Structure 1
Amino acid sequence: MTEHQIEIAFKEYNTLTELNETDHDLCLEAVKAMEGSHSPYSKFRVGAALRLQSGKIIYGSNQENVAYPSGLCAERVALFYWGANHSDDPIEAMAVTASTDEFEILQPVTSCGSCLQVLAEYEKKQNKPIEIILFCNNGPVWVMNGVDSFLPFLFFEKRLNVEVKG
């Protein structure tokens, strides 16, 4: 038997004000994206903002449906919109935040496995990692360089598709 250990590295900032201006502004765009959240059942609003190489910002918010699990997470809303409309303009960074009136969120909320797998697909498609910024109101900010920080054992089978075309 061989035992392996996996470590991840990420940056943690105390507040948004410690980020560089570009990342700080992207986080503010993620807060704006939450305004489009349709979350009458969970009352848990999530906003995502993608910054593209061109500087364009893509927004996503969680969209719930009474016929659970027909809804979609904010990250996938933004990522699928990018894939359908802007896939020739690489994603540089994604900021994600969440809010609820039910309780205080004290640390960043991480993306679900489905969102991370979609993020991995698009990192592979554009052949470069996407900076991921997770934050909460009045709390820490976590910055990761790519989806490998979350899913070290991503599902990819190279024989399924030798080359992903844009």
Structure 2
Amino acid sequence: MKSITINCDLDVYDSFEDIPADIKELMEAAIEARDMAYAPYSKFHVGAAILLDNNEVVTGSNQENASYPSGLCAERTAIYYAGSKYPKANIKTLVITAKSLMHSMITPVPPCGACRQAIAEYEVRQDEPIEIYFMGASGKVVRSNSLKNLLPLAFDNTFL
């Protein structure tokens, strides 16, 4: 048997104020999307904004359903819309922000497993890393230069 170690490199900014100006602008679009989330059951609002290589910005918010599995996360709402509206564009940056209506949310909230898999599909397809920033409603902001840091052993089309 052989043991392997997998490392991930993440950058952590102390606050929203510390992130680069262009990312602040993108995060503000995600915050606006977050405020339009439909989350009457969980009261957990998430917004995502994507910057494409054609300089278009696409946003999404989580959309819940009384039949929980039928809802969709903000990240996948945005990424699937980007893929549908701009099928030839590559995703450069994805930013995510989450806010609970039940308690303070200062811990950065990363994408869930299903969203990581969806992001992986696009990162593999475009053969370029997708830079990802995520935060709570306030507090620290985490940056990953690629989805591979968040999902190092991704399942992709090479297994099929």
What is the TM-score when the length of structure 2 is the normalising length?
0.95
1:10 aligns with 2:7: no
Aligned pairs for 1:110-125 (under 5 A) are 110-125=110-125
Following the alignment from structure 1 to structure 2, what is the Cα–Cα distance between the partners of residues 30 and 36?
A: 10
* Structure 1 residues 66-91: Cα deviation after superposition (integer angstroms, max 9, x where no partner): 01110000000001101111121211
Note if contact 2:99-2:136 (Cα within 8 Å) is conserved in structure 1: yes
Alignment-derived partner of residue 127 in structure 1:
127
Alignment-derived partner of residue 92 in structure 2:
92
CA RMSD of aligned residues (A): 1.1
Alignment-derived partner of residue 35 in structure 2:
35
Q: How far is 1:159 from its partner?
A: 5.6
What SS class does the counterpart of residue 69 from structure 2 fall into? coil
Following the alignment from structure 1 to structure 2, what is the Cα–Cα distance between the partners of residues 50 and 138?
A: 19
2:149 corresponds to which letter in structure 1? S
Runs of 4+ in 1 over 4 A off after TM superposition: none
1:146 corresponds to which letter in structure 2? S
Aligned-residue identity in percent? 37
1:91 corresponds to which letter in structure 2? I
> Structure 2, unaligned stretches of length 5 or more?
none
Count of residue pairs brought into register by the alignment:
160
Q: How far is 1:33 from its partner?
A: 0.8
> Structure 1, unaligned stretches of length 5 or more?
161-166
1:141 corresponds to which letter in structure 2? V
Following the alignment from structure 1 to structure 2, what is the Cα–Cα distance between the partners of residues 144 and 62?
A: 22
1:84 corresponds to which letter in structure 2? S
Following the alignment from structure 1 to structure 2, what is the Cα–Cα distance between the partners of residues 137 and 80?
A: 24
